[in-house]
Amino acid sequence: MSDIPQDIQQQLPVPYRHSPVKSPYRRLIQKFGKSKRDSEPARHARRAYKNLNSSWFSSTVLTFVLLFLFLPLAIIAVFSFNEGKAIVWSGFSFKWYAALFLESEKLWTSFWHSILIAFVSAFCSVVIGTFAGLGVQWYRFRGRGYVQAVSILPMVLPEVVIGMSTLIFFSAINIPLGFLSIIIAHITFCLPFVFLLVLARLEEFDFSIVEAAHDLGATERQTLFKVVIPAIFPAILSGFFMSVTLSLEDFVITFFVSGPGSTTLPLYVFSMVRYGISPVINALSLIMILGTMLIAFILRNFLKGIAASN
């Protein structure tokens, strides 16, 4: 505006004319506006970074936390190559990996049982939790608040209580203990996590996209599967893998509802504790750690791509 000649500026409406005299407010903005353009999180992050360089206490705490989290994993990885069974280094060897792949049929059977139960229960939890989240978030019905309150009970109740109550329920309705009972029990405590993740995603959802899809002639089914589901897919995928993780590592609930022929990996490892844990478990643990890291790295890039596309 300052480049416009003065005679042309006189022909413009009053709000669009350039005034060479700067108001006190404009002078204050020019003097202090540069620091105000930074967002509050950016200022806190910059201040925290400066304090981090001079704070030995924060560095010490961070070091101890990292050691506490990752040192046991490093010990497992090292002793998976130990030649002896004792927790004393006696030589480098691959004998336990050979025993894992060639002589551990029951261990692999329980491992694949855990994988099957985890993926089936996670898939069912995702389907039920996604539609439950959509119904609770977008529709008003009697008892809506009670549904939200009751849905978090499996997250706060002790697993012993859930396992015992589930066992009593299965006994009352004559459901035999086995794969079916384990899957139903795992769906019960995985479902709230998927439900809350989907609800959190729907809180940020722009409903005008749905209205635009309806204006363009999309049906309810087309809007759901081509607009809504792709928009909340990161939350669905996160809920799926969280459910897989929870199901794989669960021991307490599985212990109550398992039956003959449905031994999972945690139950098998627990049965080995009575006779001493074999270093074969260390070898399997290292393989699972490396596989988890690889999956996490792939999913990180995949989810970043989905978030950028949305």
Q: What is the 3-state secondary structure (H, E, C) of 209-278?
A: HHHHHHHCCCCHHHHHHHHHHHHCHHHHHHHHHHHHHHHHHCCHHHHHHCCCCCCCHHHHHHHHHCCCCC
**Residue count (the chain):** 310
134 against 142, higher pLDDT: 134
How far is Cα 24 from Cα 21, in angstroms, rounded to an integer?
A: 10
Residue 141 has pLDDT above 70, yes or no: yes
The DSSP code for 84 is S
Q: What is the pLDDT of residues 191-242, one digit of tens each?
A: 989 998 888 888 887 778 888 888 888 888 888 888 888 888 888 988 898 8
User: pLDDT of 242-253, one tens digit each?
Assistant: 899 899 888 889
The pTM score is 0.72
Q: What is the pLDDT of residue 118?
A: 93
pLDDT band at 121 (very low <50, low <70, confident <90, very high): very high
Residue with tokens 């950028």: 308
At residue 36, the pLDDT reads 46
**Exposed, middle or buried, 227 (CB in 10 Å: 0-12/13-18/19+)?**
middle
Residue-averaged pLDDT of the chain: 79
